[in-house]
Amino acid sequence: MFTHITITSQGQINIPAKFRRILGLKKQSKVIMELQDERIIIRPERDLMQLDGIVSDRAFPYSPEKINTLEKKALEKWVKEKHTKK
């Protein structure tokens, strides 16, 4: 699917409604823009909160609180290892 768009005098573009609907983009949605060779790729940015319910509890058994605790411990370990003289 493709369409022609015009770049405004301020360097802006509008993403056509049919593309926004297909990608699930709403007001204030964030996208990622990537330059690849001579192409501009725009894709939705997904955050973890939007992924809620995608993975079953059996496949991903940790609560958000447990994940935060594990991340904090891993970061503390990394900082300690990085800044400890050997």
Tell me how far apart the alpha carbons of residues 22 and 20 are, in angstroms, rounded to a whole number.
6
**Residues sharing a CB contact under 8 Å with residue 15, sequence separation 6 or more, in sequence order:** 25, 31, 42
37-to-41, 47, 86 alpha-carbon distances in Å: 10, 27, 44
pTM for the model? 0.51
Reference 46, options 63, 29, 62; nearest CA is 29
- How is the chain split into domains, by residue range? 53-83
Contact 31, 42 (CB under 8 A): yes
The model's pLDDT over 8-65, given as tens digits with 9 standing for 90+, comes to: 999 999 999 999 999 889 898 889 999 999 999 999 887 666 555 555 555 566 777 8
6: confidence class by pLDDT, cuts 50, 70, 90: very high
